[in-house]
Each structure stands twice: as structure tokens, then as C-alpha cells.
Amino acid sequence: MRRKLVAGNWKMNTTAAEAAALASAIREKVASFDKADVLVCPPFTALDAVGKALAGSNVRLGAQTMYWEPAGAHTGEISAPMLQALDCAYVILGHSERRARFGATNQTVNRKTKVALEAGLTPIVCVGETLEQREAGQTETVVSDMVQNSLAELTDAIRNTVIAYEPVWAIGTGKTATPDQAQEVHAMIRGLVEKIAGATIAQAVTILYGGSVKPDNAGILFGQPDIDGGLIGGAALKADSFVEIVEAAG
């Protein structure tokens, strides 16, 4: 049985003080919950404060992106060793907002994924089609291409990654993929991982769904055989709604 993971992607929201308060509220509410893994990914400026607020708890810390070089003249960037020093366990890579607005490509995501794995961080590699691509019947081709190229040259190490299927048309729109639509793509991704890395790794790898997950749809989505939890944006910014979603994974 794969253990479920519910991850909050706070995006460009919260000051350090607001983030620490949100993290403390989540920590308190999930203190006795052990049926799934819980993760929050605040902005870089809040990682230190949130890490302190979560110390010794069952809530893990992650970042929203990183650069592949360990240090040097890369103005504005953050490296894997910097994230590790703040006790980050995860890093989101290739989120559709990074792909659409900040130049992330499958090639850069692949490079970062390898560096994150080498550093002992768990990369959450995001993939997903746009509405146009879905309507043109290209979902499978587009998502397969993203998975294959973002995970290029990795085989056994895929076990240590998390893949997040996030249809672009469902992110922040209130339009969720139906459980059947999401399950179909998740099963396809797991099948692809089986071809790349074999059945054992395909059965072990965590595949999250993201895109307008809310307390009222989380249970049915997480109940699908190939959906191992969620990457939550808007609903992760309130402790109550996030924790309801976490509990739906239990």
C-alpha cells in the first residue's frame, strides 16, 4: 500500500510571520494524525520561520523551486544545499506556473530533478496539459512527453520522486478534473513509469493530483486507485480547509 501525501503549495502568499502562524495552526490540528504524510511548501522567505514552527512535528517542509548549481553567481536563485540547511525534505519542480511564466522546461526540470535527488531532497515533478491540448485530444501525448523528458535518464531513482499530475485548466480555476479523468491520466503515468523503471517502482511511486482540490472533492479523488494524495494551492492557505483535505487522505 502506498502511503498518501497531501502537500500545500502556498505559492507567492504569506509573509514569514503569516506563514509561521499558518504552519503552527496546521501543526496543532494534525498532531495526532498519522494516516498520511503532510507537507507544506511556503515561499523561500518563510522557509526558516515555518521550519522553526514545525520543528519536531509530523508536518514536513518543502520549497517551490530551486536552481541546479550548488552556489555561485546566479542572482536571485536558491540551491539544494541552501534548502537542506533549512531542513527542507521536498522541492516542487516544473509547476505549470514556472513553466508558463518563468521559463521552466522539461530539460531544466530534469536537470534540477537529478540534483535534488543527489542532494537527498524529494522532487515533486509537476506535469499537466492545457485546456487546448485536452480539447485537441493530446492529453496522453503531452503528459507522457513531460513525464519522460522531465525524468529522462532516471530509472530506479524514480522511486524517490513524486509525480504531480496537475491539469493546467484545473489550477486555481475551481474546475477540478473528474475522478475518472484524473484516474485515467494517473494510470497512464504509472504505466509509463512501469515501462521506464519496472513494475516494482511503478507500484511504489507516489502520484499526486493537483488542481482545485477542496475539502468537498478530496475524498473521491484520493479514493481513486492511482491517486496517492494531492498538491493543494488555494485551499492550503487556510488551516481548516487544508486539514480537512489531509483527513480525506486518511
Question: From the CB of 136, what's the least distance to ligand PGA, in Å?
Answer: 22
Query: In the set 232, 239, 245, 246, which binds ligand PGA (CB under 6 A)?
Result: 232
Q: Is 210 in the site for ligand PGA (CB under 6 A)?
A: yes
Determine contact, residues 191/184, Cβ cutoff 8 Å: no
Determine contact, residues 118/154, Cβ cutoff 8 Å: no
Query: In the set 20, 115, 121, 171, which binds ligand PGA (CB under 6 A)?
Result: 171
Closer to ligand PGA by CB, 172 or 191: give it. 172
User: Would you say the C-alpha torsion 233, 237, 241, 244 has a positive or negative sign?
Assistant: positive
Q: Is 233 in the site for ligand PGA (CB under 6 A)?
A: yes
Active site residue 74: no
Question: CA 51, 55, 57: angle at the middle one, nearest 5?
Answer: 120
Q: Is 131 in the site for ligand PGA (CB under 6 A)?
A: no
Closer to ligand PGA by CB, 139 or 202: give it. 139
Helix (H) or strand (E) segment spanning residue 27: helix 16-29
Determine contact, residues 22/61, Cβ cutoff 8 Å: no
Active site residue 244: no
56: left (phi over 0), alpha (psi -120 to 50) or beta: left
Q: Is 234 in the site for ligand PGA (CB under 6 A)?
A: yes
Residue ranges in 138-167 that form contacts with ligand PGA under rule CB under 6 A = 166
Q: Which residues are catalytic?
A: 95, 166
